[in-house]
Amino acid sequence: MLNAREPVLTLPTYHPPLSGREGLRLDFNENTVGCSPRVLQRLRRLNADQIARYPEREPVEAIAAAFLGIASNEVLLTNGVDEAIHLLCETFLGTEDEAIIVVPTFSMYEISAAATGARVIKVAAEADFRFPVHAIFASITKRTRLIAIANPNNPTGSAESSTELLRLASYAPDAAVLIDEAYFEFCGETVLGAWRELPNLFLARTFSKAYGMASMRAGILAGPAAQMAMVRKVASPYNVNGIALACLPEALADQEYVRGYVDQVCAGRERLQQELQRLGIEYWPSRANFVLARLGESCRPFISAMNRRGILLRDRSSDQGCAGCVRITIGTADQTDRFVRALGEVVDELGIAQASAV
């Protein structure tokens, strides 16, 4: 009988909703209005010949590298950050190794690391989801070969200073340290280029969030050229599709579009946090395009009531330390208006503010 490898048999399953997401989608941290019009124009100009060819990644890698101000051999375009994580795990982890992640965090670190057969060490965040620097240091062993950190973190929205992250990387020179900056545009904190001093450091960025291109599946993995050559060996030469590759230069060139969207999200984040504060709902200050709020036992009814109003939210109750928590993606000013109005209604309907005020 055919059996999957043991680590796969015991692998936790990641269950994001994969269909039926009609409405105002504040559940996946996507850009809520879509990509730059320049990307759409480029899409409309694609022809059959371009679709028929295998994709050519290198020229676009050079453009992405120039945009980041680094060398082409320090960059690999990937099929989303998901693939960047997968490739790092494939490159650096074996069955005798250990990977450290901080929980709660993005699910794919655990899945990709555990699938290799490596042991995944989960370090719990400190109170209020503060970065557990000392506990991570204490967890590093001779077997640690990967440390994956989302900065800002998902689902908490908290961010650690680059200085602290670099200190961590310098403490674990035999481990690949991935700083996943999927939400960089909403935060501004980065370790870009620091691998020149720390040759075990990697950085990931995505086109799925601020750039509004989640369905194209494009991300960037960057790091020291010598290590990137190893990761490149593991990647398919055609990992990023030609349609995404055709569009990425336009997306990168239209920074005005990205800035305009990010500014609205940052203003909305402030507004939403003030509103949650005013209503007496616990939340954690966020540096990303979402806010995590604790509704306790009202969490499920709250999400259902929002759903009935056409607003989708993500229940994060099953994440470590997140019982009763919902994650709310922030969109444009109009969408924040709509959300805040619905929030007021639902809070009244369910008596939530009174409950959390006592």
Ligand X SMILES: Cc1ncc(COP(=O)(O)O)c(C=O)c1O
User: Which position among 27, 61, 110, 180 is part of the footprint of ligand X (CB under 6 A)?
Assistant: 180
Taking the C-alpha atoms of residue 340 and residue 347, their distance in angstroms, rounded to an integer, is 10
Neighbours of 48 (CB within 10 A): 7
Taking the C-alpha atoms of residue 55 and residue 226, their distance in angstroms, rounded to an integer, is 24
Binding mask 247-286 for ligand X (x = CB under 6 A): ----------------------------------------
Between 180 and 315, whose beta carbon lies closer to ligand X? 180
For the chain, first and last CA: distance in Å?
59
Binding mask 86-125 for ligand X (x = CB under 6 A): --------------------x-------------------
Between 182 and 330, whose beta carbon lies closer to ligand X? 182
Residues with Cβ within 8 Å of residue 84, at least 6 apart in sequence? 76, 78, 178, 202, 204, 219, 220, 221
Binding mask 57-86 for ligand X (x = CB under 6 A): -----------------------xxx----
User: Which position among 39, 102, 214, 312 is part of the footprint of ligand X (CB under 6 A)?
Assistant: 214
* 182 binding ligand X? (CB under 6 A): yes
Dihedral sign (CA 275, 32, 298, 291): negative
**Residue 338, CB-side half-sphere exposure with 13 Å CA sphere:** 19
CB of 6 to ligand X, least distance (A): 26
* 222 binding ligand X? (CB under 6 A): no
Between 80 and 212, whose beta carbon lies closer to ligand X? 80
Neighbours of 358 (CB within 10 A): 5
User: Which position among 157, 219, 224, 268 is part of the footprint of ligand X (CB under 6 A)?
Assistant: 219
Between 98 and 180, whose beta carbon lies closer to ligand X? 180
Question: Hey, which residues between 11 and 30 contact ligand X (CB under 6 A)?
Answer: 29
Cis peptide before 7 (omega within 30 of 0): no
Question: Hey, which residues between 38 and 57 contact ligand X (CB under 6 A)?
Answer: none
**CB–CB of 168/147 below 8 Å?**
yes
Between 206 and 239, whose beta carbon lies closer to ligand X? 206
Between 144 and 151, whose beta carbon lies closer to ligand X? 151
Token pair of 258 as six digits? 């990205």
Closest residue to bound ligand X by CB: 80
User: Which position among 31, 91, 144, 154 is part of the footprint of ligand X (CB under 6 A)?
Assistant: 154
**CB–CB of 124/320 below 8 Å?**
yes
Task: Tell me how many residues contact ligand X (CB under 6 A).
Answer: 13
What is each CA distance from 165 to 32, 131, 179, in whole angstroms? 30, 10, 8
Between 87 and 214, whose beta carbon lies closer to ligand X? 214
* 36 binding ligand X? (CB under 6 A): no
CB of 223 to ligand X, least distance (A): 16
Between 111 and 169, whose beta carbon lies closer to ligand X? 111
Token pair of 227 as six digits? 């290590």
How many helices (H) and strands (E) the chain has is answered by 14, 13
The angle, 0 to 180 degrees and rounded to 10, between the axes of the packed helices 299-308 and 333-350 is 120
Between 82 and 319, whose beta carbon lies closer to ligand X? 82
Token pair of 312 as six digits? 């989708």
CB of 297 to ligand X, least distance (A): 27
Nearest to 229 by CA among 87, 356, 122, 116: 87
Gyration radius (Cα) of the chain, Å: 21
Interacting residues with ligand X (CB under 6 A): 29, 80-82, 106, 150, 154, 180, 182, 206, 208, 214, 219
